[in-house]
A and B are shown apart, each in its own frame.
Chain A
Amino acid sequence: MAFREKTAWIAVVTTLVVWGYYFSEVWRGVGARALDGQALWTLFLICMGITVVLLLGLNLFASRRRLKDFGAGPDELEKQLEGSAARIAKPLFEWAVLGISAAALLWGREFAAGFPADPVGSFAIVMANALLLAAVATNVLAEIIVIIRFRVLG
């Protein structure tokens, strides 16, 4: 398996596990109509730290037989695969941002009213997390496309 494919698997699994947990906590707060901004910010920082440590550690482990693979730039085939993934993921992210913005304009007030304790703060937290979710999801999609393209190449 190519090192770039390994890094894609590592990114997908790490992101799904760590950020899946983070977004489940956000969702739980939204469902309970009680978003604790400070607690979510702390959780966000913890998840970010865990992601960095896991990505570095697992990538180092994956390159243990050829350490020079670690941090090596992509070659022309890998650039092509990454480019084809970005051609799908980037516009999707842009559309997602547009969709989130439109939803905020259309239903923002109604949504915020559902959080009587702190409507503005809760709305801001949900907006920030919706944008973060869009970024994370489209990045995972891009990595999955890279994996599929590598699998097709055999």
Chain B
Amino acid sequence: MAAPPISNTIRRLRFDHDEMTQQELADRIGMTRQTIAAIEQNKYSPSLEAAFRIAEVFGVPIGEVFQWKAQPPKG
């Protein structure tokens, strides 16, 4: 399965927030550590609600956490 065309800065944001662990972030948004790891590694695109929750934890706009990677037009 192709990775979604979305990148994220969760790892850096965690580091910037007192080296927050994946488990701490997971606990704060009601997810498992494995789901946070999958989001971080771009293997899973979270729901809009989860994305907003993550941004809320770090106190930044959602666009600072997730970025859309524009695809070159086909053909």
Contact = CB atoms under 8 A, between A and B. Distances in A.
Interface centre among A4, A75, A77 (most CB of B within 10 A): A77
Contact of A153 (B30, B33, B34, B50): B34
Interface residues of A, number: 13
B50 A76 contact: yes
A116 interface: no
A77 B35 contact: yes
Interface in A101-130: none
B31 A2 contact: no
Contacts of A31: none
Contacts, number: 35
Interface SS majority for chain A: helix
Nearest to A66: B23
B47 interface: yes
Contact of A75 (B1, B31, B41, B43): B31
A152 B30 CA distance: 23
Nearest to B29: A75
B26 to A, nearest CB: 8
Interface of B: 1, 30-35, 38, 41, 43-44, 46-47, 50
Interface of A: 1-5, 75-78, 150, 152-154
